[in-house]
Amino acid sequence: MALRYALLAALHEEPATGYDLNQRFGRRQGFVWSASHQQIYRELGRLHEEGLLSMEAEPQAERPDRKRYAVTPAGEAALRDWLATPQPRPATRDPLLVKLFAGDLVDDEALRGELATLRRAWEERLAAYREVEATWFSDPETLSRHYRLQYLALRRGITAGQAWLHWLDEAEALLQDA
């Protein structure tokens, strides 16, 4: 049920098309909430049907119409309600941990390879996050509340990444002489 609120939140910041949202949910917002384009289009359709979004179609020559969505007052109210309701924590479901748990059946080379890939992925992500941090949030104290909260979302990404890298150090050390 949270995808719809992620969409409402994104559209509250700025009206957009499904296409735009799909870009964002793959990149900037991917670390907050990821979704495929099919999910996005489907959910936008529903939100519009329910009157939480308004839609304006811009006809285009030789292409499907661009449909620009914006949050209606009803949509904003729904979002506010949801924001005020405590959400249960998402369950952990990590295939890597399943592999570790399977223990002795795991091939050593394959495991090391997967850890190495994970390290590279997090190093890249962290670098990207840090660049955003340096460019937009260099002086957090002076930010408005709105941007402080967004900064905190980014900080969550950063601290999570650091924790993974730290764990990877431990893992590689402990596998060294296993």
Partner DNA sequence: CCTTACATGTAACAAGTTACATGATTAG
Partner DNA sequence: CTAATCATGTAACTTGTTACATGTAAGG
Binding site for DNA (CB under 7 A): 1-3, 17-20, 22-23, 34-39, 41-42, 44-45, 60, 62-67, 91, 93
Is residue 107 a contact residue for its own copies (CB under 8 A)? yes
Q: How far apart are CA 130 and CA 159, in angstroms?
A: 11
Residues 6+ apart with CB under 8 A from 174: none
Burial of 142 (0-12, 13-18, 19+ CB in 10 A): exposed
CB contact at 8 A, 153 and 32:
yes
Burial of 40 (0-12, 13-18, 19+ CB in 10 A): buried
Closest to DNA by CB, 9 vs 168, is 9
146 binds, among its own copies, DNA, none (CB under 5 to 8 A by kind): its own copies
Closest to DNA by CB, 37 vs 125, is 37
CB contact at 8 A, 71 and 12:
yes
CB contact at 8 A, 5 and 79:
yes
Beta bridge partner(s), residue 57: 67
Q: Which of residues 35-94 bind its own copies (CB under 8 A)?
A: 76, 79-80, 83-84, 86-87, 89-94
Nearest to 79 by CA among 22, 15, 155, 9: 9
89 binds, among its own copies, DNA, none (CB under 5 to 8 A by kind): its own copies
Is residue 33 a contact residue for its own copies (CB under 8 A)? yes
10 binds, among DNA, its own copies, none (CB under 5 to 8 A by kind): its own copies
Q: By CB under 8 A, name the one of 15, 19, 30, 132 that touches its own copies.
A: 30
Which residues bind to its own copies, rule: CB under 8 A?
Answer: 2, 5-6, 8-10, 12-13, 29-34, 76, 79-80, 83-84, 86-87, 89-107, 110, 113-114, 117-118, 121, 140, 144-153, 155-156, 159-160, 162-163, 166-167, 170-171, 174-175, 178
